[in-house]
Every structure is written in C-alpha cells, then in structure tokens.
Structure 1
Amino acid sequence: MAEGKLSALVVCPGRGTYNKAELGYLRRHHADKRELLRTADRIRAERGEPTVSDLDGADRYSVGTYSRGDVASPLIFTAAYADFLDIDRSRFDIAAVTGNSMGWYIALACAGAVDMERGFAIVDAMGDNSQAGAPGGQVLVSLVDEDWREVPGLRASLGALAEEIGGRPDHALFLSIDLAGMLVFAGNEAGLAALLAERPDMPGREPLRLANHGPFHSRLMQESSNRALARFTPEWFDTPEIPMVDGRGHIWRPFASKAEDLAAYTFATQILETYDFARAIQVAVREHAPDRIILLGPGDTLGGAIAQALIGIQWLGLRSKSDFQDLQVSRPFLLSMGREEQRASVVL
C-alpha cells in the first residue's frame, strides 16, 4: 500500500438497492460518465429494452417496474460501477472487492475479471434470465434484537424448520443468503407459505416477502444456470486485477484464478447454492484488515448487514449496534457512497 493511503474493502450491492429515493442517481452523480452510459444504453437498445438513461431519468418510480430483475439489475450495475470509478485512488488503495448476490457480477467488473462492457452484458442478461426463472421467491427474516445481537437458538431453529419443510412432498425451501443478522430463504410457494405459517417468534421486523425476487441461490434456479452456462463461456473472463471474495468466503487472487473456474462458480455454484455474504465480509476483513469498508451505491441497504457481520466476529471490538454507531461517529469505518455525507469522504 502506498504511504499515506488508506486500504479499503469495496462492497458491491445486490438487488433491492435502487428504490424510489435512488431515482435519478445516475443523473445526479454520474452525468459526466458519457462513455459508460452510452455503452450501457447501447446494449439495452440492441436488446429492445428501455435504456438505463431512460429508466434513471423517468419522472416516477414504480415498485412493480423497478423491482423487476430485468430493470433493477442494469440500473444497479451502472450506478455501482460508476461509483467505483469515482473512488479517490489518491486516498484509497483497493485491497479487495466483494458483493452480495447480484453484487458478485459487479465485483467481477470492478476487480477486472471482466471488462465493463462484458460485466454489464452479464448483469443485463442475468437480470432478464432470472425474471424468466423458476416459480417461487424469497423471504427475509431477522435473527437479531434491537441492538443487533443475535437471539440465541433462533438460527438453528429456523434452519431445522427449513430442512423439515423442504423434505415435505411438493415443498421446496432453502437457505438462500446469509446476511449475518438476517437470513433469506428461497423456495416454491408451498415452502415459503409453510415457513411464514410455522416460523418461531422473531425479534424486530416481521418476515418480508421480497417483491419480484425468484428463488435465487437454490436448486430451483437450475434452468437459469443452464442458460447462463450455455451463453457465457470461460473466454469471457480474465484473471482479476484485485482480489475478490465470493459468496463462500473463497478468495480469487490475481494470477492464480482460472477462467474456467470463475465461469463455473459464477454461473453454477453461486446461482444454485447459498450465498454467504456474512462470511464474505468476515473473511475479507480478516484477510486484508482494511482501514475502511466502502459500500458502493445506489442506496445503503447493506450497511446493517455489513455491521452485523463485523459484530459477529467482534471486529474492532464491536459487539452491538451501539458500538458500531459509536465507531461511525468517532472514526467512520463503513463509508456508504449512497449517503451524501459519507460519499463526500470517498470521491475525488
């Protein structure tokens, strides 16, 4: 690391981060990135889809439209990648890149394992692919109390219940994403309904059915994986320029990562198996000990999950929400580019 610089772990967002407040994000922050926007718009136009610029520049936000994978994915990729380009490299050395779920595709582009155009094409196609995927969806449940301390035994109880429900005839239920203080379950309608009906008492927020989300990171996405593997060959990939931490906590290192392995993980493993975002964060900070974590926009909905993952290993002595809030006041460790006041300390 260059003298005087801060090392940073960059976190790429997934679905659910471009919401009503983010409408116009590209206009507000990235009107100068004409080549990036032209490339994204061209790829969308060639597919006969509304361009990123038109979607971002719309007068009104509609959950029914903007939560769809074929709309949300290209918007989030473009905003996040543009934010990555805005990180002030005179102040920050990027030690590693990770992401949540769809954020893995963005991480590939940020780390240089694919170029921007291929990264956008992958995200755009996978957003459309997932929208046409298997029936079913995702439910988000909370494991923590008001101070972000995990309720003893709740994780094990939910895991046992999900396994039992998934073994019933005509029921499918899987752990989709581990967000430290929250879990996302994927399943068919029967499996999700059973989970909601039979769940144990939970602290905090009520379980949430995620709008327009398929049964991601589960075996129900097999056809989606098959289509991706047929379309995206290992030739799309290069060795990353920056270490990447995936949804298993595995580190893909420069000059030590094979294109065929990256393709197999990206279009099979991470589509069909649990995405452990909490482990990705925990491995990344333990391996690289960054001075800061930079969360790319749009939005900042992953901030709580990142903090809870840090609390889970007591990183920097953190044991609770109040500890994390005190740290953010005294020496901000997590910088969310979707927050104006924190963005100012990251960009050029």
Structure 2
Amino acid sequence: MSGTRERLLVVCPGRGTYNQTEWGSLLRHAAGSEWLARFDARRREAGLPTLSELDGEMPFRQSLHGRGEHAAPLIHACALADLLAIDPGRYEIVAVTGNSMGWYIALAAGGALEHEEAFTLIGSMGLMMQEALIGGQLLYPWVDEQWRPQWSRRRELLALIGRLHGEEERELYLSIELGGMLVFGGNEAGLAALSEALPPRERFPLRLPQHAAFHTPLQREVRDAARERFTAAPFRAPRVPLVDGRGHVWTPWSCDPRALWDYTLGEQLVAPYDFTAALRVGVREFAPDRIVIPGPGATLGGATAQALIQLGWQGLDDKAAFQARQAEDPLLISMGIEAQRNLVVG
C-alpha cells in the first residue's frame, strides 16, 4: 500500500472498559495536554474530582471509579488521547462507530459534537444514569468456545427472556447485541430470575457492576430528562460518517443534526443497541483495512472479533483463525494494548 493511507474503522468503547488494570493509562498518554487541563478545570468547577486525580492520585476503587459520572468521562478522555495519537499521514479514518456509551464518543470522534460539548454530554448522562440507577445489565454468551455462532442458543436465550418478562413483576429486555454475547437489561426481579435460569458457563451469567438497564424502556425517565436538558444546538453534520446502534449511517452530506440529536437522546436510550449491526455496516460500506478500538483497555476486542467472525470478514471463521491473523498482521488493533497502539501512533 505504498503511497496510500490505510483505511480505518474506529470503534469507540463503552462503559466497563476502565478498570483496575487501566488505572494510570490516561496520564500515561495525555499528561500535560491542554485539552485534559480544560477537562480537569471543568470538573473542578463542578466540585468533582478531576480526571487527573482519579487516574493518578486516587487509588482505584470500583465503587468510586466505576460510578457513571467518573467512569464515562475517564473512558472518553482515554479514547480521545488515543484518537489524537493516530498517525494521519499513514491512516485515514473512513467511519466511526461505538458500543453503547461509545456512541457519544463516536459523535465527537466523527465531528458531530466538539469534544468540549461531548465531554459535557458524557459526564452529564453518566451522572443522570448513576443517580437514577434504574435496573441493571447481565451478560451471557451465545457463541461456542471458538466464537462460532450457535444460532439455536441465541434463539433460546431470547425466548427465555420473553417467557420471564411480565411474570411476578419481572421486566427483562434485550439491551445490546454485543458480538457473540447478549446483554440483557431489566429490573432486579427480572435479572434475578434470568440469572437463576441461565446455565452457568465459565464466569457467566455476568452481572455488570454499577450499570443501569441501558437501552431498554426502563430508561424512559432518563431519556425525558436528557431531552429537556440538552438542546439540538451543538449537534452538526459529522466530518466523518457515523454508524449508529441500528446500523444507520449519518454522512457529512446528508445528516439532519436535529434528527441526530433526536436519535441520540431518544431511541438510542430506550431501544436495543445493535453493536453487531453497526460493525456489519461499517465493514461492508466502508471497506476498512483495519479496525481500531481506542482505549482504555481491550475488553471490547473479543466482542468485535466475534462479530467479525459472524460476518466472515477477511476469511475469519473462528477464534483460532482470528488469533493466527492477529499474530501475523493485526486486523483489529486495540489501542489499550501498548504493542498494538504503537502500530498506529505517529
């Protein structure tokens, strides 16, 4: 590919990606940056610990760092540090998508929101969801150990939540289509019944700590409050195409900013987020050479690889084939892994 830039699809991470092992990664990559100083000043004015303090001075505690008003802006800042480090001379970002909260980061990465505006939106939504903390989320795989699709298992899981929902005041919904896993959202009664009904499999079923029932009707109250608080004014057509949680593409030349606001603070909050569909559209419509996941961490890599295996992208058909290709010439670059980050930074 001499003389041409490689095409990248950027996949922005969601909640749950900043954990003990990621503590310190923000300052490692962004200490002294002017934009981080601005973010810190904004949080100081709001009476919140700064991102630099959370990442460098306060020892990691899940009960603190995992709270929405801290976790969400930390993840945004880590992703921003990585995005700014990608070498524009060698790589062209042709489209941006994200998983769940990663959609807000994608809005900034694609230019539909300025990073300051995205910082406000991300921090505020994290706080609103933390204060409401309606319901929770539970994760369960439907692929086999080699990440090959088991479609009958997927159908059985969806049928199970259909049977449990509505009984004994249980509420259960599909929350996120996450590669080879399904994320379910529901109230406590629903999640308890689902956890009991699912056959144990390694560490699953896995309850996600400090997560509300995102992308389900249980978030209607948060949606209504967000629409009152945030206007469509800061939204604009993106500079780079965005693929949302339905697989819909928002292009620089055809985007209605108010419709983008309406989706972001409307359907996106209360309907299932189809991360798998977003990836499918991203790779088929924009033909990237590689897929890049900015930090923190690398937990989204497995789900992304599982989705690519379902698509048969670049001949991938199971976990072993994916790992062999990664060892030879990585198609999927997780910037939370330092050796992979070094492949794309300037």
What TM-score do you get using the length of structure 1 for normalisation?
0.96
Q: Would you say the 8 A contact 1:8–1:92 is kept in 2? A: yes
SS in 1 for 2:125: helix
1:288-316 deviations in whole A, cap 9, x for unaligned? 11001111000010000110000011111
Amino acid at match of 1:127: G
Aligned to 1:70: 69
SS in 2 for 1:344: helix
SS in 2 for 1:234: coil
How many residue pairs align between the two structures?
A: 346
Amino acid at match of 2:220: Q
Aligned to 1:104: 103
Change (3 A) 1:258 1:21: same
Which residues in structure 2 correspond to 1:77-156 (within 5 Å)?
77-156=76-155
Aligned to 1:304: 302
Q: How far 1:75 sits from its partner (Å)? A: 0.5
Q: Would you say the 8 A contact 1:8–1:294 is kept in 2? A: yes
1:54-80 deviations in whole A, cap 9, x for unaligned? 111125111111111111001001110
Q: How far 1:318 sits from its partner (Å)? A: 0.8
Task: Give the Cα–Cα distance (whole angstroms) in 1 for the partners of residues 36 and 151 of structure 2.
Answer: 47
Amino acid at match of 2:210: N
Change (3 A) 1:118 1:157: same
Q: Would you say the 8 A contact 2:293–2:335 is kept in 1? A: yes
Change (3 A) 1:148 1:205: farther
SS in 1 for 2:48: coil
Task: Give the Cα–Cα distance (whole angstroms) in 2 for the partners of residues 2 and 119 of structure 1.
Answer: 36
2:8 maps to 1:8: yes
Change (3 A) 1:332 1:156: same
Which residues in structure 2 correspond to 1:306-325 (within 5 Å)?
306-325=304-323
Task: Give the Cα–Cα distance (whole angstroms) in 2 for the partners of residues 202 and 62 of structure 1.
Answer: 28
Aligned to 2:60: 61
Q: Would you say the 8 A contact 1:146–1:204 is kept in 2? A: no
Identity within the alignment, %: 49
Q: Would you say the 8 A contact 2:13–2:99 is kept in 1? A: yes
Aligned to 1:192: 191
Q: Would you say the 8 A contact 2:134–2:219 is kept in 1? A: no
Change (3 A) 1:267 1:2: farther
Q: How far 1:248 sits from its partner (Å)? A: 0.5
Task: Give the Cα–Cα distance (whole angstroms) in 1 for the partners of residues 162 and 59 of structure 2.
Answer: 42
Amino acid at match of 1:171: R
Structure 2 unaligned spans of 5+? none
Task: Give the Cα–Cα distance (whole angstroms) in 1 for the partners of residues 187 and 311 of structure 2.
Answer: 33
Q: Would you say the 8 A contact 1:174–1:185 is kept in 2? A: yes
Partner of residue 257 from structure 1, selected from 252, 255, 258: 255
Q: How far 1:135 sits from its partner (Å)? A: 2.8
SS in 2 for 1:345: helix
Q: Would you say the 8 A contact 2:294–2:334 is kept in 1? A: yes
1:128-182 deviations in whole A, cap 9, x for unaligned? 0110125310001111222111234111111011112112241110000111211
What TM-score do you get using the length of structure 2 for normalisation?
0.97
1:237-271 deviations in whole A, cap 9, x for unaligned? 01100000000000110021111101111011111
Task: Give the Cα–Cα distance (whole angstroms) in 2 for the partners of residues 133 and 3 of structure 1.
Answer: 52
Range moving further from structure 2, 233-242 or 132-141: 132-141
Q: Would you say the 8 A contact 1:176–1:218 is kept in 2? A: yes
SS in 2 for 1:140: strand
Task: Give the Cα–Cα distance (whole angstroms) in 2 for the partners of residues 28 and 97 of structure 1.
Answer: 24
SS in 1 for 2:39: helix
Aligned to 2:174: 175
Task: Give the Cα–Cα distance (whole angstroms) in 1 for the partners of residues 321 and 179 of structure 2.
Answer: 16
Aligned to 2:214: 216
Task: Output the aligned Cα RMSD.
Answer: 1.4
Q: Would you say the 8 A contact 2:294–2:336 is kept in 1? A: yes
SS in 2 for 1:90: coil
2:24 maps to 1:24: yes
- Runs of 4+ that moved beyond 3 A: 201-205
Task: Give the Cα–Cα distance (whole angstroms) in 1 for the partners of residues 135 and 165 of structure 2.
Answer: 13
Q: Would you say the 8 A contact 1:142–1:204 is kept in 2? A: no
Task: Give the Cα–Cα distance (whole angstroms) in 1 for the partners of residues 29 and 341 of structure 2.
Answer: 10
Partner of residue 340 from structure 1, selected from 338, 341, 344: 338
Task: Give the Cα–Cα distance (whole angstroms) in 1 for the partners of residues 168 and 234 of structure 2.
Answer: 40
2:299 maps to 1:284: no
Task: Give the Cα–Cα distance (whole angstroms) in 2 for the partners of residues 206 and 79 of structure 1.
Answer: 28
